[in-house]
């Protein structure tokens, strides 16, 4: 015997009134997409419930993927069993053993019987199924208040469903229900986490990366592609815009005093990101800034840098500690990539001293020396856009070899 269904419960969707159908459709689509590697699996939506029909796929492997889909509050593997009392008893016993492999602990049985034509009543079934489990195991006892396992049995029209465990989903809202944002992706620990948290609120994500060859190398760029790949696990296909930043960065380095160099560089990045966002119909920029971590992230700095754009800049990490960010990075699988030691464009030109309390007037003053519009436009126009798809991480050429 093995689980043949997974019942999915939505998170905040229930609150969404008229939009609910759209949200459900999007969620169904996202679940299907995350399960493409299991061609036999079917996702079914009916009467306000969602089911994954496993058709032989491994329940644990499918659960593993479902745990990454935003919009799912929780889910339970379920046994669908024909309406035959003996089969229901055996199914409940199997599910119980599956949930507690050591067969030691407490349980209770909860039967619901929407199908009133089924001959036995819920109370009677509770007792009957519970007894069957007790008779066939040695070290299980009943605890109706705080059981280790609750064996849920639902007697419906078409079949009975048995569930023993509930796994927490990722929560949040289904991606692509909230509009598009552009993530500033550096390759460090923070920005991928910011992208992940933005996805959690249902956005559609595109990413922008600043590349300054030969000061930053191909490995650094590859690292960003790989990080984007990890994010596709949660957000589906992501377009990654690579901005050629060498020209602007060289000019800033030439003309701006050391202690304002980074502030001005950040302002340029934000201007370019705004241009890329505009061209791609993104409604906001997302970055990995947290308050007061390093020079560019003091409140003064944020204030001075943010001056150059009217577009909303979302900072999902703004209140998080570094350790909290690292914890999420580990959980979502970006940490090991992020700590690979390649130069990114923030560190390469980093001057010996940086102003931690820059002000707008001075930043504007120094920028007078620079052809802002020309540099920004040139960068925006020469963007190289890669489409990063979910699924295998193996290059075509290499896949043929392997």
Partner 1 sequence: MIYFDNSATTRPYKEVIDTYTKVSLEFFGNPSSLHPLGKAAERLLQQAREVAASLLGVKTKEVVFTSGGTEGNNLAIKGTAMQHRGRGKHIITTNVEHASTKETFRQLEGEGFEVTYLEVDSDGVVSVDQVKAALTKETILVSVIHVNNETGSIQPVTEIGGLLRQYPKIVFHVDHVQGIGKVPLHFAASNIDLCSISGHKFHGLKGNGILYVRDGIRLYPLLTGGSQERGSRAGTENVAGVAAMVKALRMSKERSAQAIKKMAEINSWLERKCLEIPGVVVNSPNPRAPHILNLSVPGIKPEVIVQALAEHEIYISTKSACASKHAEPSHVLLSMGFSSDRASSAIRLSFTYDNTMEEAEAFVEAFASVVASLKKVVNKQ
- Residue from 219, 250, 357, 365 touching partner 1 (CB under 8 A): that is 219
Does residue 389 interact with partner 1 by CB under 8 A?
Answer: no
User: Residue 71, exposed/middle/buried by CB under 10 A (0-12, 13-18, 19+)?
Assistant: buried
Does residue 395 interact with partner 1 by CB under 8 A?
Answer: yes
Whether residue 232 contacts residue 343, with contact meaning beta carbons closer than 8 Å, is answered with no
* Residue 266 among known ligand-binding residues: yes
Cα separation values, 117 from 90, 122, 130, 360, Å = 21, 12, 22, 75
Does residue 393 interact with partner 1 by CB under 8 A?
Answer: yes
Using CB under 8 A as the binding criterion, the count of chain residues that bind partner 1 stands at: 12
Cα separation values, 394 from 261, 385, 391, 402, Å = 39, 19, 9, 9
The owner of tokens 């089911």 is 51
CB of 273 to partner 1, least distance (A): 27
* Residue 73 among known ligand-binding residues: no
Interaxial angle between packed helices 190-200 and 218-235, expressed in degrees from 0 to 180 and rounded to the nearest 10: 20
- State the Cα–Cα distance between residues 387 and 214, nearest whole angstrom: 23
CB of 217 to partner 1, least distance (A): 7
Does residue 323 interact with partner 1 by CB under 8 A?
Answer: no
Binding mask 133-152 for partner 1 (x = CB under 8 A): --------------------
- State the Cα–Cα distance between residues 318 and 325, nearest whole angstrom: 10
CB of 243 to partner 1, least distance (A): 21
- Residue from 82, 157, 307, 336 touching partner 1 (CB under 8 A): that is 336
Nearer to partner 1, 55 or 393 (CB): 393
Does residue 44 interact with partner 1 by CB under 8 A?
Answer: no
Does residue 64 interact with partner 1 by CB under 8 A?
Answer: no
Does residue 124 interact with partner 1 by CB under 8 A?
Answer: no
3 state DSSP class of 14: helix
CB of 24 to partner 1, least distance (A): 32
Binders of partner 1 in range 340-369 (CB under 8 A): none
> Which range in 38-46, 351-359, 370-378, 387-395 contacts partner 1 by CB under 8 A?
387-395
Whether residue 183 contacts residue 160, with contact meaning beta carbons closer than 8 Å, is answered with no
CB of 361 to partner 1, least distance (A): 42
**242: which residues sit within 8 A by CB, 6+ positions away?**
208, 209, 211, 221, 224, 383, 384, 385, 386
Q: How many CB atoms lie within 10 A of CB 399?
A: 10
Q: How many helices (H) and strands (E) does the chain have?
A: 15, 15
* Residue 37 among known ligand-binding residues: no
Does residue 402 interact with partner 1 by CB under 8 A?
Answer: yes
Does residue 218 interact with partner 1 by CB under 8 A?
Answer: yes
**87: which residues sit within 8 A by CB, 6+ positions away?**
81
Q: Which residue numbers belong to the known binding site for ATP?
A: 184-185, 209-210, 266, 288, 297
Residues that bind partner 1 (CB under 8 A): 217-219, 222, 336, 393-395, 398-399, 401-402
């Amino acid at each position: 015997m093995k689980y043949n269904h997974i019942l999915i419960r939505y998170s905040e969707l229930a609150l969404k009134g008229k939009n609910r159908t759209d949200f459900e459709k999007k969620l169904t689509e996202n679940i299907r997409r995350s399960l493409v590697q299991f061609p036999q699996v079917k996702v079914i939506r009916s009467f306000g419930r969602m089911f994954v029909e496993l058709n032989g796929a491994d329940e644990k492997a499918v659960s593993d993927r479902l745990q990454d889909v935003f919009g799912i509050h929780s889910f339970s593997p379920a046994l669908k069993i024909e309406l035959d009392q003996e089969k229901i008893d055996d199914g409940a016993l199997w599910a119980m053993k599956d949930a507690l492999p050591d067969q030691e602990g407490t349980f209770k049985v909860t039967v619901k019987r929407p199908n009133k034509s089924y001959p036995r009543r819920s109370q009677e079934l509770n007792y009957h199924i519970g007894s069957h489990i007790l008779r066939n195991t040695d070290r299980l006892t009943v605890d109706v208040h705080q059981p280790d396992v609750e064996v849920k049995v639902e007697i419906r029209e078409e079949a009975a469903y048995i569930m023993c465990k509930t796994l927490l989903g990722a929560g949040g809202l289904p991606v692509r229900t909230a509009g598009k944002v552009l993530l500033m992706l550096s390759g460090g620990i923070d920005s991928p986490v910011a992208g992940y948290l933005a996805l959690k609120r249902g956005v559609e994500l595109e990413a922008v990366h600043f590349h300054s060859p030969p000061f930053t190398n191909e490995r650094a760029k590859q690292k960003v592609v790989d990080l984007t790949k990890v994010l596709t696990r949660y957000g589906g296909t992501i377009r990654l815009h690579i901005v050629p930043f060498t020209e602007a960065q060289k000019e800033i380095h030439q003309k701006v005093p050391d202690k304002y160099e980074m502030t001005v560089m950040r302002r340029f990045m934000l201007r370019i990101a705004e241009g890329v966002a505009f061209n791609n119909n993104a409604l906001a920029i997302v970055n990995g800034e947290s308050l007061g971590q390093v020079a560019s992230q003091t409140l003064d700095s944020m204030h001075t840098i943010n001056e150059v754009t009217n577009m909303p800049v979302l900072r999902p990490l703004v209140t998080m500690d570094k350790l909290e960010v690292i914890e999420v990075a580990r959980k979502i699988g970006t940490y090991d990539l992020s700590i690979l030691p390649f130069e990114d464009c923030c560190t390469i030109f980093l001057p010996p001293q940086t102003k931690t309390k820059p002000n707008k007037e001075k930043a504007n003053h120094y920028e007078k020396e620079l052809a802002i519009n020309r540099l920004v436009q040139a960068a925006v126009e020469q963007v190289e856009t890669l489409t990063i798809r979910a699924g295998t991480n193996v290059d075509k050429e290499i896949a043929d070899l392997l």
